[in-house]
Amino acid sequence: MSASVLLFGHGVPLSDPVLAGLAVRDITRLFQEPAPGSRIDALLEPFLDPYVRGFLLGMEARAFDEAAAIVVWRQGAGALHAYRYATELRRQGLLPAGPPLHLWNRAVSAGPAAQVFDARQDAQLTQALARLPRETPVDRAGPLAVLEAMQAAAQITGGEAFRRRLRARACGEPVSTAPVQAPASDRTAGPRFALAGAPLGGRELHAWLDRQGALVLDLQGPDAPRDDVGDLLTRRRVSVLVWQVDPNDDLHGWRKPALLRLCAKMGIRFVDLGFLSPWPQRPDLPKVLR
């Protein structure tokens, strides 16, 4: 990872003008096991956000050392704690030095003061990255829209679409829109799924759904469409919404009852898989969707 700007935080806007033309990579959903003899693992609570854990263990494993900077997007769930823990572990000498960490804040309010604050934050980030070369910005939005349309039309499996989105973010490239060769008939025969809940890092749940129908709307994924959920469910003719959260979730579960009500109103079946690892394995899932 040479001269890249690494970004941590769900929803970090890779196409923000502040980052335009930089080699950026999103490291939010990376999985990282603790190294043998980890000096920091014992300080990480068992209920720590799994992506924050992965980020910190990645720092310990020096997985990000080649980067020019690591930017933490404050608005991402758990991101402030990722920044706090990382800076403190470095201060205590428990994490190696490595690329500079930068906290990228945002106001949650609207109005002139919020705009001024955000502009100052952007200016500080621009200054922090001033020495890095910039090239012609890549178009991310266009290919993402194409991939979204492919998924809506069941022209690509949910697992493959998710893999492409994750890869595009992790590599800092536009998402691939190459056509897939797999026959569409298998996928269009079963139910049309939407997947929602906590962000996933692994694709096993997607593969499991792909075997039973067509995953036409992935609301947990990076770059999920931001349109009104009811409109999306209608337009994509979703028949089953599948819900899951990670075992220590304290955030996404707040959205479930509203989604449950919406599905009930729309006549969409709501299936709650309950607590599921962000990197689910086949034994974590039932044989078939009931």
Binding residues (CB under 8 A) for another protein: these are: 42-49, 74, 77-78, 80-81, 83-85, 87-88, 91, 102-103, 105-109, 111-114, 116-117, 120-121, 245, 247-251, 253-258, 260, 274-275
Residue 206 near residue 162 (C-beta atoms within 8 A): yes
Query: How many Å apart are CA 150 and CA 81, to the nearest integer?
Result: 36
Cβ 237 to another protein, closest distance in Å? 25
Cβ 134 to another protein, closest distance in Å? 23
Closest by alpha carbon to 54, among 270, 269, 279, 235?
A: 279
3-state secondary structure of 82: helix
φ/ψ (deg, to 5) at 19: -100, 0
Cβ 95 to another protein, closest distance in Å? 12
Residue 128 near residue 69 (C-beta atoms within 8 A): yes
Residue 62 or 84: which CB sits closer to another protein?
84
Q: How far is CA 115 from the centre of its chain?
A: 26
Cβ 104 to another protein, closest distance in Å? 9
Residue 37 or 111: which CB sits closer to another protein?
111
Residue 71 near residue 86 (C-beta atoms within 8 A): no
Cβ 287 to another protein, closest distance in Å? 23
Cβ 262 to another protein, closest distance in Å? 12
Cβ 209 to another protein, closest distance in Å? 21
φ/ψ (deg, to 5) at 183: -65, 145
Residue 97 or 288: which CB sits closer to another protein?
97
Residue 72 or 238: which CB sits closer to another protein?
72
Pairing of strands 269-275, 214-218: unpaired
Query: How many Å apart are CA 274 and CA 51, to the nearest integer?
Result: 19
Residue 66 or 250: which CB sits closer to another protein?
250
Residue 128 or 285: which CB sits closer to another protein?
128
Neighbours of 275 (CB within 10 A): 14
Residue 70 near residue 128 (C-beta atoms within 8 A): no
Residue 54 or 78: which CB sits closer to another protein?
78
